[in-house]
Amino acid sequence: MSDPEPTSNEEEGEGSPTPRLLAAGLFCENCGERTGHRILRLDPRSDAATGRVRGVARCRVCRFTHPFEEVSPPPVEVRTIVSDGATSRPARLAVPAGARLAVGEVVPGSVPPMKIHRIDTTRKERVRWAGAPDVSVLWVTPDVGAVLRVSITGGRRTEATRIVLPPETEVAVGEPLGLSGGSLRIVALRARGHTWRRAGDRFTAAEVQRVYVRRTESPPAGRSVWRSDREIPSSRASSTSRSARSRSGPGVRRKRTVPRDRSAEGGATVQSAAPR
């Protein structure tokens, strides 16, 4: 646990060889329990990689100053289901014992980074967050970056696609969006449960759920030419279809014949179309 108040004997340089802590919960011999302590000095031999930290601290309850040595508990192996596209596979990830796992965050220390999508606890409950020892199964996916859904409008047509950006990348209304198939400009963003349309509205890619863009180049580069006006036929004959049409169309006009008379025997006799 960090403390916002600085200590007078703490060095303010970069590249310090030992981890710098301002405050932590340690066992106090005078109080007989774990209490909040101010870290006064850290031993240069402290090794954060192995979890062994030494130094001198002062209890905030009784003001007792004493040396301390803390050893972090070994990592906890958590069973995980890794989904990558249409395939899933079981795995086990080593997680720090004191880690707090939450949906939407990356598993601490995972290489490559794994993003948590579901947490099942040992009590057979599905929760939004839990401590590492309480987790039964983690459902994760490789953290490739922020996946943005993009709606591309060009004339009367709208296309849908997805792009992957680093989570810290800023996306703003009014700025271009680099995609293959033409120049695109962002006209709106969906973020934080609201659609933003004012030029200059800016969010990181991790906050954006959908991007609405419009083509600024018609036709797009590398595509066939779009025709906005209807082609006029060169003659009346070329514009008239002579082939049979579907039942929903008006059909083909045919020459009307004279009706046939029925004979006394019940048969049909074809009459001439010439006038009598």
* 76-84 and 135-142 beta bridge pairing: parallel
Higher pLDDT, 116 or 222: 116
The pLDDT tens digits of the residues spanning 220-230 come to 555 554 554 55
Instruction: Please choose, from the candidates 9, 8, 63, the residue with its C-alpha nearest in 3D space to the C-alpha of residue 35.
Output: 63
Confidence grade of residue 1 (pLDDT, cut at 50, 70, 90)? very low
User: How far is residue 249's CA from residue 256's CA, in Å, rounded to a whole number?
Assistant: 19
* Residues with Cβ within 8 Å of residue 94, at least 6 apart in sequence: 75, 76, 77, 78, 109
β-strand partners of 41: 56
Q: What pLDDT score does 10 carry?
A: 39
Confidence grade of residue 155 (pLDDT, cut at 50, 70, 90)? confident
Instruction: Please choose, from the candidates 62, 50, 55, the residue with its C-alpha nearest in 3D space to the C-alpha of residue 24.
Output: 55
Per-residue CA distances from 221 to 162, 181, 203, 239 (Å): 20, 6, 29, 32
Q: Report whether pLDDT(158) > 70.
A: yes
Higher pLDDT, 254 or 141: 141
158-166 long-range contacts (CB < 8 A, ≥24 apart) are 165/205, 166/205
Instruction: Please choose, from the candidates 163, 244, 175, the residue with its C-alpha nearest in 3D space to the C-alpha of residue 213.
Output: 175
Average pLDDT, stretch 43-56? Answer: 74
The pLDDT tens digits of the residues spanning 232-271 come to 555 555 555 555 554 444 555 666 666 666 655 555 555 5
The pLDDT tens digits of the residues spanning 184-232 come to 889 999 998 899 999 889 999 888 989 999 887 655 555 554 554 555 5
User: How far is residue 53's CA from residue 46's CA, in Å, rounded to a whole number?
Assistant: 5
User: How far is residue 110's CA from residue 263's CA, in Å, rounded to a whole number?
Assistant: 95
Higher pLDDT, 190 or 74: 190
